[in-house]
Amino acid sequence: MHVLVTGGAGYIGSHTCLELLDAGYTVSVVDNLCNSSRIALTRVEELCGKKINFIELDLLDMQGLSQVFSRHPDIGAVIHFAGLKAVGESVEQPLRYYQNNLIGTLNLCEAMAKHGVKHIVFSSSATVYGTPARLPIQEDFPTSATNPYGRSKLMIEEMLADLHISDQTWQVVLLRYFNPVGAHPSGRIGEDPKGIPNNLMPYITQVAAGRLKELNVFGNDYPTIDGTGVRDYLHVVDLAKGHVKALEYTQKRSGVFIYNLGTGQGSSVLEMVRAFMEANKIDIAYRISPRRPGDIAECYADASLALRELGWQTEYGLTDMCRHAWNWQKNNPEGYPPSA
């Protein structure tokens, strides 16, 4: 089957393209490269010895998008990663986030409907659970949002569910990721944040590389095992495999399918720092800083539905996540080289 991957040059998208190609899918990627590099896809091609049909395009370009489907009438499903994802930036620039994430998705769905492609796998986030009342988090927990990024995810989830109500032949999959980290074991593709990283793992690897002086641990007075925030970190390769499983399971089923993708295990910030130091035999300088506004104390998944229905569960552990993250950073200290 031919799968269109939006945002396929990005962190999770590039790893998913590799898994799709390895599983025998034909892959086209639409990406405007606003937060990624074309080189990621060249490396994916090198890793699997197969080609990707890359189209540099903004999802806001409705006409261009429609052309992609008319030129490739064999596209049978879409995995939709394309979006802006920085929480803090979304608070400062809400209209840009709504414009890009909502209108981009609207355009995509319109083009899909027009060309009779009704199978979509969407990158949602654990952020849609807001501050959960209980742990671990199950898919039927109440949803809410505290920032424009999270709200855009929730709105898109609802929009896609409405689409299925209006036409029940739509196959809608909402994958709620917990905290993806790590990189492909080859060290050829990985996370390449622009500027100072917002997320914990890339910050740690940049401290390890000497690019940043020390990690700021945002708060040590949360009601958690050691006072620091607890999250459910999962290896990006496991996450990528989850997309292939979700695509396969929903191939012949219509409906709205919602899955948590996580390990089911919470780890604190200090546990992550220790795991990184032990896995890589490198010291990470850190200091305790004030809490980051908007952070919650604890968040981890009940991922048993994905296991029951998709037959998916994570295989990599914290040591692999830390080792592979460092392997990527070490081999690519400045991220991907500038495109030629």
Find the binder of ligand NAD among 22, 45, 58, 309 (CB under 6 A). Answer: 58
**Among 231, 249, 232, which Cα is nearest to 308's?**
249
Of 66 and 198, CB closest to ligand WQD: 198
Choice from 198, 220, 254, 304 touching ligand WQD (CB under 6 A): 198
Which one of 3, 4, 11, 238 is in contact with ligand NAD (CB under 6 A)? 11
| Least Å from the CB of residue 27 to ligand WQD | 22
- H/E stretch holding 100 reads none
336 is catalytic: no
* Site for ligand NAD contains 81 (CB under 6 A): yes
**Nearest Cα to Cα of residue 133 among 248, 297, 309, 283:** 297
Q: Which amino acid is at 160?
A: L
Q: Give the pair of three-digit tokens for residue 18.
A: 């590799």
Number of residues that bind ligand NAD (CB under 6 A): 27
Beta strands in 37-107 (DSSP E): 53-56, 75-80
- Per CB under 6 A, the list member of 217, 234, 256, 270 interacting with ligand WQD is 217
CA atoms of 200 and 128, how far apart (whole Å): 20
Among 26, 35, 127, 329, the residue binding ligand WQD under the rule CB under 6 A is: 127
Burial 278-303 (b: 16+ CB within 10 A, else e): ebbebebebeeeeeeeeebbbbbbbb
- Residue 11 interacting entry, from ligand WQD, ligand NAD, none, C-beta within 5 to 8 Å by type: ligand NAD
Q: Which stretch binds ligand NAD (CB under 6 A): 28-36, 223-231, 241-249, 291-299?
A: 28-36
Instruction: Examine residue 82 and tell whether it contacts ligand NAD (CB under 6 A).
Output: yes
Considering only residues 99-118, where is the footprint of ligand WQD by CB under 6 A?
Answer: none
Using an 8 Å Cβ cutoff, are 239 and 313 in contact?
Answer: no
Instruction: Choose the catalytic residue: 25, 149, 222, 300.
Output: 149
Residue 260's DSSP bridge partners are 176
Q: CA–CA separation, 184 vs 191, rounded Å? A: 10
For ligand NAD, the binding residues (CB under 6 A) are: 7, 9-13, 31-36, 58-60, 81-85, 100, 104, 123, 125, 177, 179-180
